[in-house]
Amino acid sequence: MRLSYLLPCEYASALATGAPLIVGAFREVLIDPRHLRLEPFFVGLELEADPIEAGIHALELRVIDADGADIYREELHVEFRARPDYGPSYAFLPLRVAIRGEVAPGPYRLDLVLRGEPLGSRRVDVRLAQFEG
């Protein structure tokens, strides 16, 4: 199994055709220094599986802070169906991520994990917004 992409974004969904819809992909988030909270965001990710991997797989999306602590975990189940042409199967997952509590500015990492091993990750930098006044 391979991770094609893992994109944090403002919104993610799938169209009626199954095609992915990803709006406002980002690598950096500005937070209000008075509240130190991340607004809920979405992650759009696509997986590719070889024919021998047909079936249901359990994965986990983790958000890891600069100190290496998991601040968010979500278990995911994805099913890949065997294709008649013996080609790879694809799955698009739009996920809403809501992190509770305060966060500190710094680098964060989104990890997608399968059986304890990371399939891929994406760095997101959290910075304090600068207000004039």
Residue ranges per structural domain of the chain: 2-128
Q: Which residues partner with 106 through β-bridges?
A: 126
CATH 3.40.1180.10 fits 2-128, yes or no: no
Do residues 92 and 18 touch, judged by C-beta distance below 8 A? yes
In this prediction, residue 24 carries a pLDDT of 97
In this prediction, residue 84 carries a pLDDT of 82
What does the pLDDT look like over 14-42, one tens digit per residue? 999 989 999 999 999 999 988 899 999 99
DSSP state of 29: E
pLDDT, mean of residues 101-111? 95
In this prediction, residue 110 carries a pLDDT of 98
Residue of 124, 42, 53, 63 lying closest to 88 (CA atoms): 53
Cα dihedral sign for 117, 39, 24, 128? Answer: negative
Taking the C-alpha atoms of residue 81 and residue 85, their distance in angstroms, rounded to an integer, is 12
Alpha carbon dihedral 7, 61, 46, 104, in 10-degree steps, equals: 0
pLDDT, mean of residues 7-13? 98
Three-point CA angle 81, 42, 50, nearest 5°: 20
In this prediction, residue 131 carries a pLDDT of 76
How far from 14 is each of 36, 41, 99, 101, CA to CA, in Å?
31, 16, 23, 29
Task: Flag whether pLDDT at 85 surpasses 90.
Answer: no
Task: Flag whether pLDDT at 113 surpasses 70.
Answer: yes
Pairing state between β 2-14 and 20-25: antiparallel
Mean of the per-residue pLDDT values of the chain: 94
The band of 133, judged by pLDDT with boundaries at 50, 70 and 90, is low
